[in-house]
Amino acid sequence: MDVNGVQLFIFPHAGGSDLSYRSLERKLQITGTTFTICYPGRAKRFNEPFAKDVPSLAKDCMDIITLNRQHDLPMVFLGHSLGALVAYETIKCLRTSGSGLPELVFLTGRSGPCEAPVNMERHKLADGELITHLSAMGGIDLSLLTNPDFISFFLPVIRNDLRLNDTYKYCESNRFDIPFVLLNGSNDRIAETQALLSWQKETLGICIHEFLDGGHFFLLESPDFSKKISQFIHRYVICTQLPYV
C-alpha cells in the first residue's frame, strides 16, 4: 500500500455532481487520487432515474466505489450536506458486504443522521419559494437561478435530493471504528452545533469538530479548507501507516 497517498471519494451535496467539485479537486493538496461520485439523474448520468431513497443511493455509490477502487491506496471519504448522509449510509453498505472501509471520514454541513432535518418540507416548496431558498443557501451562481433552461433541468434534481434528505429514516446500528472529522462553516445557519456533534454517536474512533470561515458552502469558498483536509489526512492516515524504524 502506498503510504504517501490516498484515494479520496467525494459525496456531493443536494443538487451537486462531480462537475460541482472540479475546482475543489484542483485545490486539494493531497497525493493520490480524488474521485467525486455522480449521483443518478444529472451530469453524465442525466438519463438515469433518480434514487428513491438514501439507502438505495448508498448502494449505488458502493457499486461505483467498488468499480473504481484503487486497493494500493488507503480510502478516505468526504461528504457534504446530503453527501455526508450518503457517505454514512455507504459505509454501512460496505460493512454489510464485507468490503474495506474508509480510514478517515470528513463530514461537513450536516447534522448527525439521528437528528431530524430542521425543515422536512423543503422538497414540497413551490418553484418560486424553492428558488428563494436556494438563493439564500448559496453554492450556486445566482444568474443561473434566473435562467429558464437551467431551472427546468435543475429543479427536479434538487427537489428529489431534498426529498431524500428530508424523508430519511434513521436506523441505529453498531458504531464504526473510524476517525470522523467534522468541518463546518462558522456562518452556516442550516446545521446547529449540537446537532453536528451528534455524529459522535456513530463512531468509536476520534471525532474532531472545527469551524472554518464561510456559510453552508464554505468548503467551496474557504482557502483554508484544502489545507485542513491535507493536514488531517497526513495525521490520521499517512502517519499511522508509516513503518516503524
Distance CA 198, CA 239 (A): 27
Rounded to whole angstroms, the Cα distance separating 6 from 2 reads: 8
Task: Yes or no: say if 30 and 5 are a contact pair by the CB < 8 Å rule.
Answer: yes
Give the residue from 74, 107, 123 showing the smallest Cα distance to 196: 107
Domain 6-115+172-241: CATH superfamily is Alpha/Beta hydrolase fold, catalytic domain (3.40.50.1820)
Q: Between 28 and 94, name the one with better pLDDT.
A: 94
Cell of 242: 508509516
Region 87-99: mean pLDDT is 97
End-to-end CA distance of the chain: 17
Say how many C-beta atoms besides its own lie within 10 A of residue 245's C-beta. Answer: 3
Identify the pLDDT of residue 119.
66
Q: What percent of the chain has pLDDT over 90?
A: 72
pLDDT, tens only, 3-25:
568 999 999 999 999 999 999 99
Query: Where do we find the cell 422538497?
Result: 123
Its pTM stands at 0.93
Report pLDDT digits (tens) over 170-224: 999 999 999 999 999 998 888 777 788 899 999 999 999 999 999 999 998 888 8
What is the CA 42 to chain-centroid distance, rounded? 16
Grid cell in block for residue 166: 428530508
- The per-residue DSSP string of 103-141 comes to SEEEEESS--TTSPPS-TTGGGS-HHHHHHHHHHH-SS-
Query: What does the pLDDT look like over 174-189, one tens digit per residue?
Result: 999 999 999 999 988 8
For 237, which DSSP code? Answer: I
Strand partners, 9: 35, 77
